[in-house]
Structure formats: C-alpha cells, structure tokens
A = this chain, B = another copy of it.
Amino acid sequence: MPSQPSATPPFPADATLADAGEFGLIGALTRIFEQGEHVLVGPGDDAAVLRIRSGHVVVSTDLMVEGRHFRRDWASAEDVGHRAAAQNLSDVNAMGGRAHSLTVGLAAPADLPVQWALDFARGFAEECALVGASVVGGDLTRADEVVIAVTVMGSCAQSPVLRSGAEPGDVVALCGRQGWAAGGLAVLGRGFRSPRVLVEAYRRPEPPYDAGQAAAQAGATAMIDVSDGLLSDAGHLAEESGVTLDLHRAALEVPEPLHAVGSALGADPMRFVLGGGDDHALLATFPPDRVPDGWTVVGEVREGEGVTVDGAAYDGPTGWVHF
C-alpha cells in the first residue's frame, strides 16, 4: 500500500521522524519493548491483550511537556525516558501496588531526530524493567512540541493504600531521597551542571519501588508519592484524610550537596526538601509502632487541617503549580 513510508531501520544517524515515517518508527520502537508473560498481545493490534488475575487493578496517567516538565538540553533522551516511566511507576508504588503494564504516547515535531525517540524508548524500557513492567502499547503523532503521555496499570497484593486513611496519632514517614532533584533542577536553571549528584538525581530519579508494597503490608494508613512537592503533597494527604500533618524540620535530612547549592544560590537548602517533588519519594502515615525499615519518621498526624512545619504555617514555596 502506498501510504506506508518505506524507510526501515537502521535509520541514518541524522534521520528525523518525518524521514522514518510513522510505521517504520513504530516498528523500531516496538522492538525495544520486551513483553512479560502476562502480555498475550503486545503493541501492533488495535489494542494490547493482557491476562489479569482477579483483584485490584490500579491505573494512573501523566503528561510531560517539553519546556515545562523537561528540557532536551538539560537531560538526554534516555534520561527523559527514565523520568517519564519513573513518574508513573511511582504512582502505582504509592498505592502499595506493583506496575505490570504501561502505554506511552509520543507527540513530536516532524524534525525530532529518530535517535531521540529511540533513546527515549530505551530509557523508558530500562526504568520499567526495574519493576518487571512491560510497555504494551503506544501512539505516535506529529505536534509542534514534544508531549509524552503515559498510562500505567498495576496490581495490589493487598488493599490499596489511599490518601484518605491517616488518623490523629499516626506518625508521618518518608522513604527515598527528598529535595535532591529540586536542587539539581535549581542548578540547571542557573546554567550549572554541578553538584553532579543532584543533577543526576533530577535526570534519573530513583523512586523506592520496593517500599510501597512493603508499607502497605506493614499497615500504612495513607500514602502518596511526592511529585508536586513535599508540603504540597502532604497537603493533599491531609485534605483527603481530614487531618493536620505536622512535619518536623529536625527530622528532615538536608543532604550535604544541598547545603552547597543553598550557599551558592543564597537559598535555605531546607526549601528544596520542603518544596521539591521530582525525587518521587513516598510519604505515608503509620501507627507509631508499624513504621517499616527504610522509612524516616518526619512528623505526626493531628486533628485539624492542612500542613504545618514544627507546629506553624510555612510561608515558602510548597511545590509546583501547573497553571
């Protein structure tokens, strides 16, 4: 049929999406995505077909827009792939579940290098492999700017942990790096590339993928992944649970490289910890005697509403505002 462009991989090094054509590129992308045993039909039909056991299926979706959620000069295509996957896998983690399947849509200008799309897919697949999840479907279309749309599905071995279950008397605990990515983003924004450990934390977050399910099994009463900002996401949890979350500055670790960034930028490094989100740490509440290993108690749940820091309102930035 004449509507199929004829370019086939391997593509020339300088090929663009327009050169490769939709079907040629989809074929190349599809070969990057290995399918797990639960995938009866992977990409290429009208829909993927999965074998799912009865139980709780969790589903979440996220968009990433170039210039807003990532910059091609600040992170490699592989990094962006890792981040796009991590952001979604983390949402399943925050329910106490384990991701098994993802779809990814890529809208991009016709002059986007094919190599960027392939590297993005490789990074995305590598991140998914960390939890054994498969990329089962996708879509590719032209747009003026790069937009990445990911949907993740997962399953829970036990009841999912919602945002709404925190009770006065619970403790608030954090698992995973917090503030590192925000520090990395701040230095990138000033045109620097160091401290390298923070820049790398921004480019490739390391969500604590094993911690969500373990927290659920330990008896977490509420959980959320820190994606908008620690105080902002603590606020979501407080609101859904109808309680106050009081965080304790002294319990929040400010990693050494953040002190250096704070000095260089003339900012209180605690702001990165309280306002940062891109690390995809988990924030959860537990009965005081149920906090699992690997979690740090950083506050307590009280009657009331909203979030306080050491018992008082916080007047710095609490997170990311989308509009």
Bound-state CA distance A235–B107 (Å) is: 24
A95 touches which of B46, B62, B317 (Cβ 8 Å): B46
Would you call A133 an interface residue if the criterion is a C-beta within 8 Å of the partner chain's C-beta atoms? no
What is the chain B residue whose CB lies nearest that of A17? B323
Chain B residues with CB under 8 Å of A55's CB are: 51-52
- List residues of A (119-165) whose CB comes within 8 Å of B's CBs: 136-145, 147, 149, 151-154, 156, 160, 162-164
A61 touches which of B22, B138, B143, B154 (Cβ 8 Å): B138
Q: B-contacting residues of A (Cβ < 8 Å)?
A: 1-5, 17-18, 20-22, 25, 40-41, 44-65, 68-69, 91-92, 94-95, 97, 101, 103-107, 110, 136-145, 147, 149, 151-154, 156, 160, 162-164, 223-225, 228-229, 231-232, 235, 240, 306-307, 315, 317-323
Beyond the given A57-B57, A145-B145, please list 15 additional residue pairs across the A-B interface where CB-CB is below 8 A.
A1-B307, A3-B229, A18-B323, A40-B160, A46-B60, A46-B95, A47-B59, A47-B160, A49-B160, A61-B138, A63-B107, A68-B141, A143-B147, A147-B149, A153-B153
